[in-house]
Amino acid sequence: MPSWDSQQYLRFAQERTQPSIDLTARIAIDPPARIVDLGCGPGNSTAVVAQRWPSSAVTGVDTSAAMLATARKDFPTREWIQHDITAWAAATPPGSWPLVFSNAAFQWVPDHSTLLPRLFDAVAPGGALAFQVPHTLEMPHHRLIHEVANSATWRSRFLQPPVSWHVESAGFYYDALASRAARLDLWFTDYIHVLDGPAGIVEWYRGTGLRPYLDLLPDAAARETYLRDYLTALTPLYPRQADGRVLMPFRRLFVIAYR
């Protein structure tokens, strides 16, 4: 489990929260009595669902004490629970939540073929399981994190092989949920993030996808050198626009399964 830094994560709060806004806007259910936000992080996604359904009781679930501390500070009246998503899915009674919501968290959780049916079982009749995962494994900004770590220079310096994200195809999620769901909506959205040069891409991933890699390097000097090599690999692939900024296309997969 990588370490989390809510301040680094929220440096791109608007970009990271927009998918929650887009997902929430498409959930077509009656106002849910209660909502769970799995992998709620610092509470930015939880705030989106709470704003759409102000009379719902909203619970945020996350394993990271650091993320939950920020959520509690910013939204002290909501319920925040430190819990693992897989364990939550196994322990939750069937049909008990009208809305099971998750934005940008399931990529950290293994075994989606077991996880997704369990989470869908937790949904109450008339409710929905709604989630979004980044679909960037083939995009250069994501791929290079792994390629640099696997290069001859770096391979032996990782204390153990870093794990990659758990993200499946749209067809996989269709097969996992279609036979159970009354209706299933799946779609991709390509966001284009405008960042301050290639170093902005490094800053973006320092808050997420780089964390498992940085955690496995032995010291600060190794981490800085690895980040420099990642930046060097990125730079030719992200040419600057006329104003000096770079565009980082970022694909996300959305799924809503209605019960």
Contact between residue 111 and residue 89 where contact means Cβ atoms under 8 Å apart: no
Q: Which positions ≥6 away from 92 have C-beta within 8 Å?
A: 122
Binding status of residue 84 toward ligand SAM by CB under 6 A: yes
Spatial CA neighbour of 39 closest among 107, 115, 112: 107
Listed ranges 98-106, 136-144, 172-180, 197-205: which one lies at the site for ligand SAM (CB under 6 A)? 98-106
Task: Identify residues 164-193 at the interface with ligand SAM (CB under 6 A).
Answer: none
Report how far residue 204's alpha carbon sits from residue 134's, in angstroms, rounded to the nearest whole number.
Answer: 13
Quick one: CA dihedral 92, 94, 96, 98, positive or negative?
positive
- Minimum CB distance to ligand SAM smaller for 135 or for 154: 135
Q: Which helix (H) or strand (E) holds 226?
A: helix 220-234
CA–CA dist 6, 69 (Å, integer): 9
Contacts of 39 (CB under 8 A, 6+ apart): 61, 62, 85, 102, 103, 104, 105, 106, 108, 109
Binds ligand SAM by CB under 6 A, chosen from 23, 24, 45, 212: 45
Query: Which has the closest alpha carbon to 255: 170, 137, 196?
Result: 170
Residue 168: both structure tokens together: 């499946």
Sole window of 104-112, 166-174, 179-187, 234-242 interacting with ligand SAM (rule: CB under 6 A): 104-112
Nearest approach in angstroms of CB 20 to ligand SAM is: 5
Residue nearest ligand SAM, Cβ-based: 41
Chain residues 12-31 in contact with ligand SAM, contact rule CB under 6 A: 16, 20
Told to check if 208 binds ligand SAM by CB under 6 A, we report yes
Q: How far is the CB of 151 from ligand SAM (least distance, A)?
A: 26
The answer to whether the CB of 234 falls within 8 A of the CB of 198 is yes
Binding mask 125-164 for ligand SAM (x = CB under 6 A): ----------------------------------------
Among residues 75, 80, 97, 108, the one that binds ligand SAM under rule CB under 6 A: 108
Closest distance of CB 155 from ligand SAM, Å: 26
Check binding of 44 to ligand SAM (CB under 6 A): yes
Q: Which residues bind ligand SAM (CB under 6 A)?
A: 4, 16, 20, 39-41, 44-45, 62-64, 67, 84-85, 103-105, 108-109, 208
